[in-house]
Structure 1
Amino acid sequence: MEQRCNKGEMSDKNDNHCVLRKWNSCALELTVPSEISESAITKLHIYDFDNTLFATPGPTEHFYTRELLNLLTSSVLPNGGWWNEQEFLRAAIKISKTKPRGYSWNEEIIRLAEKSFCSKDTISIVLTGREEGKFYELIQHALQTAKSHWKCSRNEFRFNAVCLKKTAISKYTSEYKKELMRDFLKYYPSLRELTIYDDRVHQIEAFKTFFHSLDLPRLKWFAIPVRPFTKSLPREQELEMVTEMMDKNNSQAFSPSQKFDLSWTPKQTGYILSMASHRLLSKEVIKYLRRIKGRKTFKPKLYEYPLYIPCAEPGENIPALEIAKTWSNNNLCAFDSEERLHRILKQFYQQQPAKCIIHFQVTGLAVISSVYHNKRKPLEVYFKATPEPNRYAFSKFPEFIVTGYFYNKDKIDDLEVVTERLLNSKKAIHWTPLDNSISIKTFFGQYAKLAPILCSNEL
């Protein structure tokens, strides 16, 4: 229940700093300064929770088609989507107990928060857009677990208040956070510094605009972007939880159009680019297109993550012997018995691509107008690649070419077109040499994506 906070009506020392009581959501985390007056408070330090303090798991991008990823993270689902689902955060807190502290908690930010809490003229708070009614117990549990599970100093994981979103004030996270800051600035006219840490760039920019609008010459402010700190849930656990989430959604849906089944796209075999390599090539495409289009703001719609170098058509397998030769770099001793061969195949088919890393040099780029030209997929993009020297790599295609796909439900939209280009690449693709070759990191393996389809009984 929200407490009143009117300084003009205060008559008791216990009412001091009542703005903390007003906004605090976690009773066990409230620490009201007892040895310092309100007028001595000169600094307010604010720390975001998700992916700033704590490695909250988000959906693993390459598990899902873009359509399903957007659906999972949207608020249009009856249960509110991923970020309104308690079980993902609950699972991450449980995993944190089995890992070193730095696995789940951002040690750099924890150290800064400890200094804030120890500074006598500073109020430090956690401020998150998580809904108070749904998440205050979980976030309190996360902080209590951190303090009790590992050896901590007496001031680590401590704040003056932990504030979650009270939807009666605003359902929009940035507006809610700004409303809280206004209240603290009004309550503590002695404030001379306000620092806020957040991992989301768009939030940081919104805060900067807000601070500029305050017209408070006395106030120095800092909106500090934090590199997102996240850890994915184990693959099988995440997929099982997503399935349960969609089942829950379907049971709560009011309209057939809100009910979805999940289906896998065709399995793709090849050399899957790391996220860093994917970004490198995406930037190269944007740079090339801006140069030929002459518009700095040109942003093409690129394929869904991940880009990869296919060594077979989606849905097709490659010979077991070629899997073993590629996996072992053609080391015959690694698969000279049925037992060793089966061990390699098991690792491969269990989708453990990180066990087999292969680097390629990318030397050429081709951008071709799509035969299905529209806003969603205006271009086909290809990169010419060569495996690192002395590295065995197999492909059914005549060349190693980086490409990607667009998905429509559980189908690959442009499969036939791309396959035809790859099979006839020496005639069908005309390469533009890159100014400098680009080294990319790939993982030999397979992947498929989950896609949403309308429930079969609703069709």
Structure 2
Amino acid sequence: MEELRTKENMSSRGEGHCVLEKWNSCACELAVPSEVPEHAIKKLHIYDFDNTLFATPGPTEQLYTRELLNLLTSSVLPNGGWWNEPEFLRTAIKTSSDQPRRFSWNEEIVKLAERSYRAKDTVSIVLTGREEGKFHELIQYALQTARDHWECSPNEFRFNAVCLKKTSMSKYTSEYKKALMQDFLEYYPSLRELTIYDDRAHQIEAFKSFFRSLDLPSLQWFAIPVRPFTKSLPREQELKLIREMVSENNIQASSSSKKFDLAWTPKQIGYMLNMKSHRLLSMEVIKILRRMRGRRTFKPKLYEYPMYIPCAEPGKNIPALEVVKIWSNDGACAESEEKVQRTLQEFQQQQSGRCMVRFQVTDLAIVPSTHHNKKKPLEVYFRATPEPNRYTFSLFPEFIVTGHFYTRDEIEDIEAVTNRLTNSKKAIRWTPLDNAIPIKTSFEQFDKLASVPYIHD
């Protein structure tokens, strides 16, 4: 790496630490260490914002079909999708102030950042891939909101600069961050340590590759992965913002083909697997398919989350009294009508996790889907047994873990899957698992938001 700077940079050195002003995006956050000579700066500490410092909300995956989720988070929408829409972050920042226990900062990383700022030989910055024009005021607002909540002194929870992606920079966040680091390394040839904290594994690997390419044997570098720190927005707030984003998309869209509406898929009632159980069964499928096919790199896709044990086919209900019996775990439940109605209301409010039911998964079956091809997964079924002394019910003859794929608001292969579940003892060829797998489920009902054709024109 060349240590010579351009004449412009050389002439600006006299102003002191001007590289901070060059990259800083939030005027109120710039804190030039004017009392420290540039040659005394030995360390550069860089902190990512989203999911590293702050619990930034992402879309709640189980609310949307995979097709809609991919659309909402893609850059094809006129506003750039979820991560380019300021309202989601603004709502989270406001909630972090109103309800600090729901949205918060990563206290461990905040403490490290404060230590970095206090060190006289260290420059510390926030570095985020969010667009400067759209988000610099929001990031500044987030930092100030945190200081107000913690009643910080003027020098607490500060950084020397807060840097967002400028319009002239690469659209790829890792490239933009590497460009900034390159500039800081050239500006401060005295640097002996560079540490960057980030939650995204692929970016950490990109930074490691970048550091290895530098011809700076005197520089110690650390690319430290941070466990993603995130929380979802309250359900109704999230859905409201999604509908507003889609409405704005339809106003801005250049053609009808780029417009879409939203619709709920049919209600599904049953025992929903939690994330851990979903992963356990997914790993079991991968292990068995690799063994069957002899391909260690085979990675099949499974049903959209959640996989579940259905009590009825999608769009259908089970008797109300059976809902009450499962909810109360009482097969002889014959209490008052008031109790029945109250229980039904709790169930219909989708209070996730309120009614836990454990099963043992003992058998597996893999069936080619009617629509199976290289891009679409196989149908996978697991036979399960409920825990002893637990009241359970299903309109199907066995308790079988399954799931669905969606196209728009339609469930693919719904008739074929329903037929297999109805006639499982004859229609499904089971393979016993080496060991039974314990899973946790929650008795509830769910539906998903899907994209459907726009029909208002």
TM-score by length of 1: 0.95
CA contact (8 A) 2:369 2:413 kept: no
Partner of 2:10: 8
The AA in structure 2 aligned to 1:421 is R
Q: Which residue of structure 2 aligns with residue 428 of structure 1?
A: 427
Amino acid at match of 2:10: G
Q: 2:3 matched to which residue of 1?
A: none
For the pair 1:403 / 2:405, whether they are aligned, the reply is no
**CA shift at 1:7, angstroms?**
4.1
2:28 maps to 28
Q: Which residue number corresponds to residue 86 of structure 2? A: 86
Instruction: Give the equivalent residue in structure 2 for 1:193.
Output: 193
Task: Give the aligned partner of residue 239 of structure 1.
Answer: 239
Query: 2 CA distance for matches of 1:345 and 1:139?
Result: 44
> In the TM superposition, what are the counterparts of 1:132-143 in structure 2 within 5 Å?
132-143=132-143
Which residue identity does 2:61 align to in structure 1? E
Corresponding residue SS for 1:97: helix
Tell me, in whole angstroms, the C-alpha distance in 2 between the residues paired with 1:5 and 1:208.
30
Cα deviation 1:149-204 (Å, max 9, x = unaligned)? 12446654211111111021222211111111110111111111111111111111
Aligned to 2:362: 363
Q: Matched residues in 2 for 1:292 and 1:153: separation?
A: 63
Q: Structure 1 48/268 Cα, relative in aligned 2: closer, same or farther at 3 Å?
A: same
Offset from partner CA, 1:107-142 (integer Å, 9 cap, x none): 111111111111211111111111000001011000
What secondary structure, in the 3-state scheme, does the structure 2 residue paired with 1:178 have?
A: helix
Distance 1:11 1:195, change over 3 A: closer
Contact 1:397 1:422 in 2 (8 A): yes
Q: CA deviation at 1:436?
A: 2.2
Range that drifts further, 274-283 or 248-257: 274-283
Query: Would the alpha carbon gap of residues 66 and 123 (structure 1) be closer, same or farther in structure 2, given more than 3 Å must change?
Result: same
1:102 to 1:151, Cα distance in 2 relative to 1, 3 A: farther
Does the 8 A contact of 2:365 with 2:430 survive in 1?
yes
Gaps of 5+ in 1: none
Q: Distance in 1 between matches of 2:156 and 2:335?
A: 55
Q: Distance in 2 between matches of 1:155 and 1:289?
A: 57
- Corresponding residue of 2:314: 314
Q: Aligned-pair distance for 1:274? A: 1.1
* 2:410 is the alignment partner of 1:380: no
Deviates more, 1:404-413 or 1:110-119: 110-119
Match of 2:436 in 1: 437
Alignment of 1:220-299 (within 5 A): 220-299=220-299
Aligned residue number for residue 347 of structure 1: 346
Q: Is the 8 A contact 1:101 1:150 kept in 2?
A: no
In structure 2, C-alpha distance between the alignment counterparts of 1:101 and 1:232, rounded to whole Å? 13
* 1:350-400: CA deviation from partner (whole Å, max 9, x where unpaired): 111221122222122211222322123241111111222221111111111
Residue aligning to 2:95: 95
Which stretch shows the higher mean deviation, 376-385 or 258-267?
A: 376-385
User: Is the 1:267–1:314 contact (alpha carbons within 8 Å) kept by the matching residues of 2?
Assistant: yes
| 1:234 Cα deviation after fit | 0.9
Cα distance between partner residues in 2 of 1:259 and 1:265: 19
Structure 1 residue ranges (4+ consecutive) displaced by more than 3 angstroms after TM superposition: 4-7, 100-103, 151-156
Pairwise CA distance, 1:101: 5.8
For the residue of structure 1 that corresponds to 2:266, the secondary structure is coil
Deviation of 1:70 after TM superposition, in Å, equals: 0.4
Q: Which runs of 5+ in 2 are unaligned?
A: 1-5
Root mean square deviation of aligned Cα: 1.8
Write the distance in 1 (CA, Å) between the matches of 2:331 and 2:44: 61
The answer as to whether partners of 2:95 and 2:102 remain within 8 angstroms in 1 is no
Q: Deviations over 1:402-445 (max 9, x none)?
A: 11111010000111111111111112222222222222221111
How do 1:320-335 and structure 2 match up within 5 A? 320-330=320-330
Could you say what secondary structure the match of 2:456 adopts? helix
The TM-score with structure 2 as length reference comes to 0.95
CA contact (8 A) 2:367 2:379 kept: yes
* 1:5–1:22 Cα contact (<8 Å) kept: no
Task: Give how far 1:71 is off.
Answer: 0.3
1:184 maps to 184
How far apart are the structure 2 equivalents of 1:190 and 1:391?
68
CA distance in 2, matches of 1:154, 1:281: 51
The separation in 2 between residues aligned to 1:340 and 1:381, in whole angstroms, is 38
2:140 paired with 1:146: no
2:92–2:103 Cα contact (<8 Å) kept = no
Amino acid at match of 1:88: F
Distance (whole Å) between structure 2 residues aligned to residue 30 and residue 72 of structure 1: 34
Contact map agreement 1:116 1:122 (CA 8 A) in 2: yes
- Hey, what's the Cα distance between the residues in 2 that align with 1:310 and 1:153? 56
Q: Distance in 1 between matches of 2:340 and 2:101?
A: 39
Do the aligned partners of residues 152 and 390 (structure 1) sit closer, same or farther apart at CA in structure 2, a change above 3 Å counting? farther
* Cα distance in structure 2, aligned partners of 1:203 and 1:186: 22
Q: Distance in 1 between matches of 2:197 and 2:360?
A: 38
Instruction: Number of aligned residue pairs: give it.
Output: 452
Q: Which moved more, 1:425-434 or 1:24-33?
A: 425-434
Distance 1:367 1:154 in 2: 62
The SS at the match of 2:138 is helix
How many angstroms apart in 2 are the aligned matches of 1:215 and 1:43? 17
